Structure 1
Amino acid sequence: MKAAILILFVAFAHISFAQDTIVVRKDSRLETLTAKQASTNKLAGKMTSNGLYRGFRLQVLNTRSREQAFQVKTELLRRFPEEKTYLLYQSPYFKVRIGNFLERADAEEFRQMVMKQYPQGVFVIDDAIEYRPGAATSEETEPDSQ
């Protein structure tokens, strides 16, 4: 009995070594899944400990006058309603900032538009920004309704 099992084992081992080609069938959805995970990892690398992302904002004003800061913030809200504005107080200065940009190039592009209204100096600064990854990616992945 042991000899028969040994002979069968050797025969199957010999047959399995005779097969020198392996065919791997890759699921077509694997590339899509890999690209999606890579973009998620890229965004996760920019996330800070408090749930915000590392990005850029435009600093439009740095003043000691609270009234002037509120006036500029109101003007920015009126002229650029699609962008969020921020009023920060870092003693003794009030700072007015606008926008949430992941890339510096996007901030520079928006800076050119803001500079037309505020030529005294608009600066791109590094800041923790509010960003919702689902909002941008859901628009890109929705199929066309035709």
Structure 2
Amino acid sequence: MKLIPYLFWLTLWLAVTACARKSTPVSSRSTIDYNSYNEDLSAARPSYTVTPASSPATSKPAATPARRTDTRKPAEALHINRRLDAVLDTIAQKNRSVRYASGYRVQIYVGNERRAADDAKLKVYKNFPELNPYLEYKQPTYRLKVGDFMRRVDAERYLDLLKQQFSLAVLQADRVDIRRSLSIK
């Protein structure tokens, strides 16, 4: 019986001390100046000794390189390797011939009415002249897609703007014209 009050006071004391705020020592300097930090690391660095050559007759003085002047014309100096230039020109020509790539378009209209598709197309011309609309017809459905986006981030930025005027706007992966995608800012 006498043990119960002691246990009560013991648990009360433990609860109070456990919840008490811990005091942290406060430094005398409130700001630390890291620029004044200095430590001598010479004891940790390796040291090397330079040994002289075994005999002065065998060692040769270091030859100073002769200074060469470039006597070529400036145009010739740019052509390091003509064969490499030919390969790079071929790659550049092949890249110019690529017209389409995978990208994204925003579909703003799907329906059976041609007039509604044309109205949506006209609205896009007025409000977003930088986006190219593409009207696609597969019987009996008209689909109006806009934009040529190479990156999804750009398409999502326009998707937010287009959703304000076209509530059914959706982002779709599509084959896009590379040259037109470069004109969209």
Deviations 1:48-74 (A, max 9, x none): xx8311000000000000111011101
CA distance in 1, matches of 2:124, 2:132: 9
Residue 108 of structure 2 is matched in structure 1 by: 60
Match of 1:128 among 137, 158, 175: 175
Match of 1:98 among 146, 154, 161: 146
Match of 2:161 among 103, 110, 113: 113
CA drift of 1:90 comes to 1.2
| Bigger RCO of structures 1 and 2 (CA < 8 A, at least 6 apart) | 1
Q: Greater CA deviation, 123-132 or 50-59?
A: 50-59
Residue 79 of structure 1 is matched in structure 2 by: 127
Q: Number of aligned pairs?
A: 94
CA distance in 2, matches of 1:114, 1:132: 22
CA distance in 2, matches of 1:80, 1:51: 23
Equivalent position amino acid for 1:124 in 2? L
Larger helix fraction of residues: 1
Deviations 1:95-140 (A, max 9, x none): 0110000111111111000111112x1111111101129x57xxxx
Gaps of at least 5 residues in structure 2 are: 1-87
CA distance in 1, matches of 2:126, 2:169: 18
CA distance in 2, matches of 1:76, 1:92: 23
RMSD over equivalenced CA pairs, Å: 3.1
Gaps of at least 5 residues in structure 1 are: 1-36, 45-49, 137-146
Q: Choose 1 or 2 for highest CA Rg.
A: 2
TM-score between the two structures when normalised by the length of structure 2: 0.44
TM-score between the two structures when normalised by the length of structure 1: 0.56
Residue 20 of structure 2 is matched in structure 1 by: none
Deviation >2 Å, runs of 4+: none
